[in-house]
Amino acid sequence: KSKDGSINFTLEAASESIQKKVILYDKDEDGHYDTASAFIKSMRGSDPDAALYWMAKMLYAGEDPRFIARRICILAAEDVGNADPLALVLANAALQISEFVGMPEARIPLAQACIYVSCAPKSNAGYLAIEKAYQAIESQKVQEVPDHLKDGTLDGDALGHGKDYKYAHNYEGHFVKQKYTRKKVRYYEPTEIGYEAKIKQRLEKLRKINK
């Protein structure tokens, strides 16, 4: 209390009064975005300890658990992808569970997902594939659907829609050589990391047949 009777209430005083450390973390300023960036980059860099630290900081400062869960889900799809498909399943489960149980318990499934995604093998091949497809749609003439892939119901059958379509399950290995675009396209290039190595092996075999 000062001589003029006013009371100076500082961060230190607030911290002592509630027995909890005050974290300088403004959700609308650089502190928020910098911490979130460090969290994401730590998971991408396969450092679960650093990722947990930044996540703990955000939660301690009152960050919405849903914001954190969404970041984990996005990273699981963008940076882990098919190298470990279970990462996205676990991230989505953590999102749903954290919304259901709320804080403080939500930090536990979020931590599990954070650790799993951080430690998982990494591949951004799926992200790169959809980016290439988007660019093709934006910059090139859009292809018309081949007649044999069009809907043959109603008047479509009279126009030859669906004619000569080959139902894959009727063939050996549940695969048959067939065109699915008028002009050949190729966007997905799987890596040899984690489960994606198996996908690559199968896809290369099918692509050779479907030339």
* Tokens of residue 209, six digits: 């047949």
Whether pLDDT at 15 is above 60: no
Residue 62 has pLDDT above 60, yes or no: yes
pLDDT at 16 over 60: no
For residue 62, the tally of other CB atoms under 10 A from its CB is 10
- pTM for the full model? 0.81
Mean pLDDT value of segment 135-155? 89
pLDDT band at 14 (very low <50, low <70, confident <90, very high): very low
Output 101 or 123, whichever has higher pLDDT: 123
Pick the residue with more confidence: 87 or 160? Answer: 87
For residues 57-85, give the mean pLDDT: 95
pLDDT of residue 211: 79
Would you say residue 195 has pLDDT above 90?
A: yes
* Residue 211 or 100, more confident: 100
- Cα of 79 vs its chain's centroid, Å: 7
Cis amide prior to 104 (ω within 30 degrees): yes
8 A C-beta contact, residue 117 and residue 75: yes
The helix-helix angle for 107-119 and 48-60 (nearest 10°) equals: 150
